Amino acid sequence: MKRVLVNGAGGFIGGHLVKRLKAEGCWVRGVDIKRHEYVTPPADEFIVGDLRDPRFVESVVDGVEDVYQLAADMGGAGYIFTGEHDAVVMHNSATINLNTLESAVKAGVKRIFYSSSACIYPEYNQMDPDNPKCSEESAYPAAPDSEYGWEKLFSERLYLSYMRNYGIQVRVARFHNIFGIEGTWTGGREKAPAALCRKVAEAPEGGTIEIWGDGKQTRSFLYIDECLEAVRRLVESDFTGPVNIGSEEMVSINQLARMIMEIADKRVTIRNIPGPTGVRGRNSDNKLIQQRLGWAPSKPLRDGLEKTYRWISAQVEAHKHEPAAAAH
Ligand code: NAD
């Protein structure tokens, strides 16, 4: 039975990954600074601790063959694009990555997967909402629009350096807006699909929801199950990456909101207000992953949104009578 460590198992993607690896028959140790908020991931062992502490990291990499390093100081636009959290984001995530790699090499870990982000792509290629460029080789000359993106780029290079110099097998993916059930939907760190599902679920019929920016900024969104299929194919392949894992179904944020309203069968007016938005346009470019791993998303955006809306509207309903939770 393969022994695997998932860092960030108390988070959105990590929680789902634990489930997937268990279903594949692995023995899984999950680690996070907090327990999962919505479910109990079925890990064989779940250890709560701080991956910024090198001694803690040494203890958790012990005895595993593969590591999935997903832990990061993370959030949606309201967390990473305001500038207020730049120092902690860079310090926390870089420290986690430095510790994890160093301990993994010392412990003789065979393979390590690292989740980078579409946020590493240069701002200058993402000014036109209709024609963003995010092919893997376009990452340089580097000019990410956030410190979160710069840290991811630094860490990609760190992982590749450790592979070059110490021989540990590394796999690097650049995730493009992964969404789905059992992820943050309130509190300030939620991303656009979850935030919009919540706003539509909370709005009365004929009410109004607010959207940051003019809503014409474009993005693509990939459902969690599709993402994990791509991650597993990458890890089992001999391809190091970095490679995009995302969807090429690009929509504007206003279109995304309208799609959610259709799913909810609710008529709501959109009010576009000033707020942090990130780049004007972003879309995954899946040529490389298609060519190397034969992977492409199998279902349209709407499918995943339906599941996510159902889950978030149930959360909204369940929290209606709890003023503290609903106040976020
Ligand atoms: P998430 O915030 O739900 O999960 C990250 C987890 O890391 C959290 O549970 C958090 O508690 C944990 N963590 C943070 N600091 C820690 C520490 N010091 N010690 C131990 N655990 C710590 O985010 P997610 O959406 O599941 O993202 C997982 C990874 O994928 C992250 O590295 C993120 O940057 C990357 N990524 C995600 C997306 C996306 O759309 N969700 C896009 C691009 C990249």
What is the distance between the alpha carbons of residues 187 and 75, in angstroms, rounded to a whole number? Answer: 10
Distance, CA of 230 to CA of 240 (rounded, Å): 13
Q: From the CA of 32, how far away is ligand 1's center (Å)?
A: 9
Q: Which atom of ligand 1 is nearest to the CA of 152?
A: 34
Name the catalytic one among 68, 148, 159, 223: 148
Distance CA 6, CA 4 (A): 7
Q: What is the DSSP string of 275-298?
A: -----SB-----HHHHHHH-----
Q: Is the peptide bond before 242 cis (omega within 30 degrees of 0)?
A: yes
Cis ω before 204 (30° cut-off from 0)? no
Å from CA of 75 to ligand 1 middle: 8
Structural domain spans, the chain: 3-179+222-245, 192-219+249-282+299-317
Which of 6, 13, 53 is the pocket-test mutation for ligand 1 (most atoms within 8 Å of CB)?
13
For domain 3-179+222-245, the CATH class is alpha beta
List, for the chain, all residue ranges whose pLDDT scores fall below the cut of 70.
323-328
Domains 3-179+222-245 and 192-219+249-282+299-317 share a fold: no
Place of tokens 């450790």: 162
CA distance 88 to 210: 28
User: Does the annotation count 148 as an active-site position?
Assistant: yes
Mutate to test the pocket of ligand 1, among 70, 152, 158 (most ligand atoms within 8 A of CB): 70
Per-residue confidence (pLDDT) for residue 321, from 0 to 100: 75
pLDDT at 323: 59
Q: Do residues 247 and 230 make contact, with C-beta atoms less than 8 angstroms apart? A: no
- Measured from the CA of 191, which atom of ligand 1 is nearest? 40
For ligand 1, the distance from its centroid to the CA atom of residue 154, given in whole angstroms, is 17
* Pocket of ligand 1, beta carbon within 6 A: 8, 10-14, 32-34, 50-52, 70-74, 92, 96, 115, 117, 175, 177-178
- Ligand 1 centre from 8 Cα, in Å? 6
Helices assigned H by DSSP within 111-213: 147-166, 192-202
Take atom 37 of ligand 1 and give the residue whose Cα is closest: 175
**pTM listed for this prediction:** 0.96
Q: State residue 301's pLDDT score.
A: 98
Distance in Å, CA 70 to ligand 1 centroid: 5
pLDDT (0 to 100) of residue 328? 40
Q: Which residues of 183-213 are buried (b: 16+ CB within 10 A; e: fewer)?
A: bbbbeebbbbbbbbbbbbbbbeeeeebebbb
Helix (H) or strand (E) holding 224: helix 224-236
Which CATH architecture describes the domain 192-219+249-282+299-317? Answer: Alpha-Beta Complex (3.90)
Best mutation site among 74, 148, 189 for ligand 1 pocket (most ligand atoms within 8 Å of CB):
74
